[in-house]
Chains A and B, each alone.
Chain A
Amino acid sequence: MVNPTHRRLAAAVAVPFLLAPTLSGCASDSHGRTKLTVLAAASLTETFGQLEQSFEKDHPAVDVVVSFGSSSALAEQVNQGSPADVIATADDKSIGLVADDGNLSGDPTGFAANTLVVVTPPDNPADISSLDDLAAADFVVCDPSVPCGSAAQTILDNAGTAATPKSLEADVKAVLTKVSLGEADAGIVYVTDAEAAGDEVMTVDIPADVNAVNAYFIAVVKDSGHADLSDEWVSLVMSPAGQGVLAEAGFGAP
């Protein structure tokens, strides 16, 4: 005798897949507001947070959701089909991967530049005053697989120092945490992150001739269901007001 449960099971397995499109297709929240999803590099946390508020003020019917992560992870998310309207990365390589896969609706636009600084705990226990002092200190940088890490590597190479980091952190905020907790004597982070950390860290400038410049790029995702709103977000970032917010946080002009 064939157990009827088997047939039922087969039918039941099929149902979730029929339901899936209706679940993932929602573009509005419970208040009927349109959801605009912006993927942004972790170093944009403060600035894009501010821009989100001003955008929502101008568009009361829009709920901007900014998701922060490392640029390469964000690029991977878009390429794997995560729903997103705009992507802003801290380098050209990551957004280039998205462009290469044909997932952008236009060419990426440069909207900011960021350089790096050395940060130490406020009491600077290892007496760091230049890049050369890193060799004798326990310092951390980002992993080379994320933009702040490749930039840090470039700087160490440029400076010709033999310094080896103690740890390659997953993103720039993790570097900052290790330094502000005093677990590392120093770290290499973006100027903007050091700025945002305020009194929690002390900064030591890196000379311009060895410093690395990360260019930030933004683009609208091809599968965005809200092309107009996405364009408006990009316009806001490029506008004098948007650029003002970025400059205040320590970003350089594109």
Chain B
Amino acid sequence: MSSSAVRTRGRAPLGLTLPAATALAFLVIPVAAVLIRAPWGTLVDDLSAPEARDALRLSLVTTVTSTVVCVAFGIPLAWLLARTSFRGRSLVRAMVTLPLVLPPVVGGVALLLAFGRNGILGKPLDDAFGISLPFTTAAVVMAQVFVALPFLVISVEGAFRASGERYDEAAATLGASRWSTFRRVTLPLAFPGVVAGAVLCWARALGEFGATITFAGNFPGTTRTMPTQVYLALQDDPDSAIALSLVLIVVSVVVLALLRERWLSGLST
């Protein structure tokens, strides 16, 4: 049956279109409001102000770093979840998913209690090496990794599962070790999914605010990322806040467009 035949079977009921349109309007209107209220005339000035430039630069550096960290550690974790079976695997997956649903501020508090100067790992670290993480750029990266890693692990695990184990098995019968199977079969097959996961992970890191300001604090050039800059600028320079919000919105839209065009289809098949 063709899809048009299905459609003519009846009009979409108002009971569905009404809430659907409300939902759509609710999501679109705030974003549209930013576009409408954006200080187009002073946009370039707003974005090239030293504080905005510092925040942009810091956000770029930290999010790229945290994405690299997520890829390096997240892919093996995703592989473990997709290709091995061990007791407590569902528990491990639940723990990986936890930061997805945890309020970021709570994540920030948790990071402080773990890696802060008086944290359960932070204190020994400080005592032994004099390394104190809060208020450093490293802490910004850690906060971003904490909230973004689940995105990568979940999407890459999905990609590993979607590409199936048959090729892995074929490689194994031909005498390939598990390591070389992973490197030469599993990973290349799942590559589109890995890229999609990395982009999602990067976008989440870029938007990270609550855990960052709680764990890393806020200082221009060291720990003040774009979202923090937006939040603070809103207090005394709303135009600058709107201009920076605009940048984040544009970036998000571009990311979504790229994912849809190139990789999201690869992820779902």
Contacts and interface: CB of A to CB of B under 8 A. Distances in A.
Interface of A: 3-5, 8-9, 12-13, 15-16, 70, 72-73, 76, 138, 140, 143, 145-146, 165-170, 174, 178, 181-184
Contacts of B135: 138, 140, 166-167, 183-184
Given A72-B236, A145-B232, A181-B116, A166 B219 contact: yes
A12 B21 CA distance: 6
B236 A145 contact: yes
Contact of A138 (B11, B20, B132, B223): B132
Given A4-B11, A145-B235, A12 B22 contact: yes
B48 interface: no
Contact of B14 (A12, A174, A182): A12
Given A9-B17, A12-B22, A13-B21, A167 B217 contact: yes
The majority secondary structure among interface residues of chain A is mixed
Nearest to A17: B25
Interface in B90-134: 112, 116-118, 132, 134
A183 B118 contact: yes
B36 interface: no
B235 A183 contact: no
A181 B233 contact: no
22 contacts: A4-B11, A8-B17, A9-B17, A12-B17, A12-B21, A15-B18, A16-B22, A76-B235, A76-B238, A140-B135, A145-B233, A145-B235, A145-B236, A146-B235, A167-B134, A168-B219, A168-B220, A169-B213, A178-B134, A181-B116, A183-B116, A184-B134
Contact of A73 (B213, B214, B234, B237): B234
